[in-house]
Structure 1
């Protein structure tokens, strides 16, 4: 169970900010007293590493943040590129299990190579390179970590980073299972580390505008939200191929169920079509769109009370075991139904008593038309301000001033929980009920067991 609530966690981080801004007026005893109010038993150096204070020759974060990058596939390389371009950041370590030429990524919307070799060529051949993330975390002088592994690795890599006191930019969805999310959330919230999840739509003006319009009542009472996601990968028929030299297939699988079937397309560009590694689009894109819906409603610290699947079509053959078509509804205590389907238009559509509003990465429009053009006043409910322009610089801002991140750990966990409950409901093809306070499925033992899964040896999820 949590030792620290989300509100107390925010309080703790804000007290850290006060400390940095008022080091001359706040002594150590006052600081620890304030931290104790949040119910966290920590010593001063545990929360603030020496590098954060510029001691022992380390560079203070206000001047330069040292970052390690774990996972250098398509998303990880893109994230690292964004941080690499920030003059406040220095990339000091790279980690990936793929040390081949990286051509396995061809055909994934681009013809660029990925993996360790490509990353070193792009970011610097002098940057230390590692195959095992645990070796990275043993290196001195690393302040923060950006990690973008396949979903089945998210929990263990994140937990290892936090255990070493690192601030983390972690990819969405937060974890592969609900239980992993609970453990990771608890660990982060009791650590004092900054965690930001890559649900970057919160940093796009159109989504901020849509959420503020809903928050301030311009659509009236919201009764329903429709979320449209892309469909899962087509169930192609693939043949096994030899594992290429330079690729650590065992490490790539990690805690997931073991498989002897290797195919580069299944492993590098279509792994989200395999349940062992991912929940598919319901969690991949759901982590984006459900996040926006809950943010707009002001209930991103809660969860659904009931989850009801209404349509499901499974593939008849091929490598993918994700549904080809799906529709599932999540019902919340505020009376709102959120329908998630790959048969809806990609985006988030709000239905209120005064009109409706649709927002996506490409557009925002409303009926009546004028609602989408509403000017939100400074005195109204405004959402998280992006101070330097995007999701990545916002993370660095939070690292520097110790303020809560744009999509912090509890927000990411609550959104991911909704997505994974939807997955469980359509897998069983029946409604399930969720105890929001205690975070568990009630009245259905089979469904409850799907909130967790066994790890392959030697990997273990910390209790």
Structure 2
């Protein structure tokens, strides 16, 4: 049985909850200590714990520690892992103490985006490999620091752009790069999701019991506690995230960059952004954006609508590779090719193709990470790929924040051309006592 098929079967065993079958538990017991990979989770509330579940579906992976600033979340996750595996991980509320562990190979970073860089660089310096959720970081400059840290300390760093492990996206990329659609003119991307509106306005409240809110804020500005800025909805505020653009946009834009002959940073970026729905909404980020990225190989056209759920081809989100012979439409559920018609030959210019029934690929992306830890190979989304994807999300967000219709990015100099306001947003300002890491 191939590693891919075996992992899919193992992952199915924990669908719907952290429960491991007797077969998988037996396989875990039979794995030699020298073949085991010991991981820790930092940020355990939502996606981070989902990624840990996929790690634990691999027989050779142990969870030796979990860290969270919310004691309620921490205790819940420690118990869930203990109940599932028979081993209770060590609990931490300070990631720096966790990174001192000697019996630790890799960390999973599932924190809000504004923490990614600090933790990832510290992990690399401590000799740990890193799986970091997307976007790679909450600023352009921090992405550079993480890329430099992974290279300097020879660490495996996998960015959570899991579409790169998905069958529909892999086959689509291969069809595009093989010339099946002819020359690609443009890549149209759309993402329409209700949650892009942000939450309704809520009053300030006291900090929930068991939460170290000052540590949760970390390098972000000091603010009074509001539930809209906490679990689940923090991404709508620039202090911690980049809204729908950096949440979904970075996934889909990565798939456009992936088919470039030589994947590159954007040079010219044209942005329209507006908050159309302002009624009783609490957010910094935008609900409506259109962005053009003129690239060497083709034009990328990104269309985002928070608060809507329908889109082209009756899909709320997707990618259309528009070629001279046909157009390929893909999302996580599969792909379909719509051929152009040759009026002279009275025939389609390419053969129609269709793939249906594909699903999420977090499990395979995690499996790739674990394999690369053991073999010391480059993962499917290494730091530079994560940096390029993040750039395509951060630059439009910066343009929207300063009201610029067009920005020109010089990737060699790592700066915007002739725009001081945009350059001021390349790096975040860390709140004391936190400082930008040095690599």
Give the TM-score of the pair, scaled to structure 1: 0.77
Q: CA-to-partner distance for each residue in 1:389-428, whole Å, 9 max, x for gaps?
A: 7111111111111110010111001110111011112222
Structure 2 residue 336 is the aligned partner of structure 1 residue 373: no
Which residue is equivalent to 1:28? none
Q: Does the CA-based 8 Å contact 2:79-2:88 persist in structure 1?
A: no
Which residue is equivalent to 1:123? 81
Indicate the RMSD between aligned Cα atoms, in angstroms: 2.1
Of 445, 448, 457, which residue of structure 1 is paired with 2:432? 457
Which residue is equivalent to 2:115? 153
Q: Does the CA-based 8 Å contact 2:202-2:226 persist in structure 1?
A: no
Q: In the aligned structure 1, how far is the partner of 2:274 from the partner of 2:88? A: 50
Q: Aligned in 2, Cα 1:152/1:314: closer, same or farther, shift over 3 Å?
A: farther
Q: Does the CA-based 8 Å contact 1:241-1:262 persist in structure 2?
A: yes
Q: Does the CA-based 8 Å contact 1:314-1:321 persist in structure 2?
A: no
Which residue is equivalent to 2:331? 360
Q: Aligned in 2, Cα 1:433/1:371: closer, same or farther, shift over 3 Å?
A: farther
Q: Which runs of 5+ in 1 are unaligned?
A: 1-57, 101-114, 376-385
Q: In the aligned structure 2, how far is the partner of 1:442 from the partner of 1:333? A: 19
Q: In the aligned structure 2, how far is the partner of 1:359 from the partner of 1:298? A: 20
Q: CA-to-partner distance for each residue in 1:64-104, whole Å, 9 max, x for gaps?
A: 0111111101101111111112111111011011112xxxx
Structure 2 residue 219 is the aligned partner of structure 1 residue 255: yes
Cα deviation, residue 348, structure 1: 1.0
Structure 2 residue 198 is the aligned partner of structure 1 residue 234: yes
Structure 2 residue 178 is the aligned partner of structure 1 residue 216: yes
Which residue is equivalent to 2:21? none
Which residue is equivalent to 2:271? 309
Which residue is equivalent to 1:439? 414
Of 296, 310, 313, which residue of structure 2 is paired with 1:333? 296
Indicate the SS of the match to 1:230. Answer: strand
Q: Does the CA-based 8 Å contact 1:152-1:255 persist in structure 2?
A: yes
Task: Trace 1:1-400 onto structure 2 (pairs within 5 A).
Answer: 59-60=33-34, 63-100=35-72, 115-124=73-82, 126-231=88-193, 232-263=196-227, 265-300=228-263, 302-313=264-275, 316=278, 317-334=280-297, 336-343=298-305, 345=312, 346-368=317-339, 371=351, 373=353, 390-400=364-374
Q: Does the CA-based 8 Å contact 1:227-1:347 persist in structure 2?
A: yes
Q: CA-to-partner distance for each residue in 1:353-372, whole Å, 9 max, x for gaps?
A: 21111100123111118656
Q: Does the CA-based 8 Å contact 1:328-1:426 persist in structure 2?
A: no
Task: Trace 1:402-417 onto structure 2 (pairs within 5 A).
Answer: 402-417=376-391
Q: Aligned in 2, Cα 1:299/1:233: closer, same or farther, shift over 3 Å?
A: farther
Indicate the SS of the match to 1:296. Answer: coil
Indicate the SS of the match to 1:349. Answer: strand
Q: In the aligned structure 1, how far is the partner of 2:378 from the partner of 2:354? A: 28
Q: In the aligned structure 1, how far is the partner of 2:111 from the partner of 2:88? A: 23
Q: In the aligned structure 2, how far is the partner of 1:311 from the partner of 1:81? A: 37
Of 378, 394, 400, which residue of structure 2 is paired with 1:420? 394
Which is worse superposed, 148-157 or 434-443? 434-443
Cα deviation, residue 311, structure 1: 4.5
Which is worse superposed, 412-421 or 233-242? 233-242
Q: Does the CA-based 8 Å contact 1:214-1:297 persist in structure 2?
A: no
Indicate the SS of the match to 2:192. Answer: coil
Q: Aligned in 2, Cα 1:443/1:123: closer, same or farther, shift over 3 Å?
A: same
